[in-house]
Chains A and B, each alone.
Chain A
């Protein structure tokens, strides 16, 4: 992509921020 760089790609798939 030219306009977007994504740092990471899904919380919903994972059955505090650094844990």
Chain B
């Protein structure tokens, strides 16, 4: 399978099944597009008409294309389906937990999973005892794996900060007795952030996620206090100080864009111009009936925004305005093995969410849906049919993924989004898929531009 597109002045050819990425001239771009559907003679006849000044180069271009095919870097077949069967049969090891440390919040964000922080009136904080059982469950079910990950999530985790501190201390004690290494992450809206919390987080948190949507009017529209007052002015100086205190490493400012700011590249650049260097601004996950939901008609403007952002990132690369954008991060030379790429995110098997009362769900987006209750921290995973369903949720189980060029970078997308929009975790969320495909194209274009700027990629060498 080959995917071809033009962006930023580059003709890009993705050989999907080998992972090879080629940048080609116009002549070769058209030749590859016709290669599988016509014979050499008719391709040459057509290309002589299109590119009369390059008629003498047709043999040379043809030879290069056939050389790529012989090298297994063009029109490579998909031989991976058997991999996934073995992957699905491996014993389940739990690697990561999302601890809903507080089902309570001091903001009333309009797009919150948790009903604007209200939790249907059932506000609840996780006790240390439930958290301790969760860490014990993780250690007991992690097999020989040493590195374990725990997200402190909410709600707003800082509304239950003493339990966060106590659980980190408990985790550190388990590291010594059980030969494990915990990587902790804290997500916060910043309202309660202070110097003491920053100091603790800089000592104990491998990553912090700071929620801010971008421009003040965009942020305050969606992230008000219950009083309707905006939160931007309160949190911004604290987040700037936090990012600096971490040396601009191991954090993300994380925003959400909606139907109301389809010009979201301005929000990304606003955050970059404020001085943040690690940025993620992501499409809202919402019901189609929500006024702020991304719609089909938003897609074309959003595609243009992603391209605009990608080109601006190329312009800023290597300057003191350079920044990282989460959805454009792509590793063309490393990255995980093909089995991981095909098997998805790990939700429901390797990754579980824990509610304040200790119930287990496949991930934070399924929390509260009784159809997806998997067990609890005391008894472990008891809904084994559901776990099996998630373990078999892979690229080959999703019809729309099997023929998608982005499948090795997207890994089948988000099971929760698929369920919310199609009623099946093996379905697809068409708007989300369209945006993901555009992001993959942009990310690869950035790599092509950086390679051109550094002179790498010449003469068929790997970068």
Contacts and interface: CB of A to CB of B under 8 A. Distances in A.
Contacts of B409: 16-17
A17 B350 CA distance: 18
Given A1-B459, A17-B330, A7 B447 contact: yes
Interface residues of A, number: 17
A5 B23 contact: yes
B335 interface: yes
Contacts of A18: 329-331, 335
Interface stretch (B14-22, B172-180, B284-292, B372-380): B14-22
B453 interface: no
B33 interface: no
Given A4-B24, A17-B335, A11 B341 contact: yes
Interface residues of B, number: 53
Contacts of A12: 17-18, 72, 76, 79-80, 338
Consensus secondary structure, chain A interface: loop
Contacts of A5: 22-24, 451, 457-460
B73 interface: yes
A19 B457 CA distance: 22
B187 interface: no
B331 A9 contact: no
B330 A4 contact: no
B451 A19 contact: no
B68 A4 contact: yes
Contact of B28 (A4, A8, A11, A19): A4
B320 to A, nearest CB: 23
Contacts of B410: 16-17
Contacts of B329: 17-18
A10 B23 contact: no
The 3 closest A-B pairs by CB, nearest first: A17-B409, A14-B337, A16-B411
Interface of A: 1-12, 14, 16-19
Interface of B: 17-25, 27-28, 57, 60-61, 64-65, 67-68, 71-73, 76, 79-80, 329-333, 335-338, 340-341, 345, 408-411, 440, 443-444, 447-448, 451, 457-463
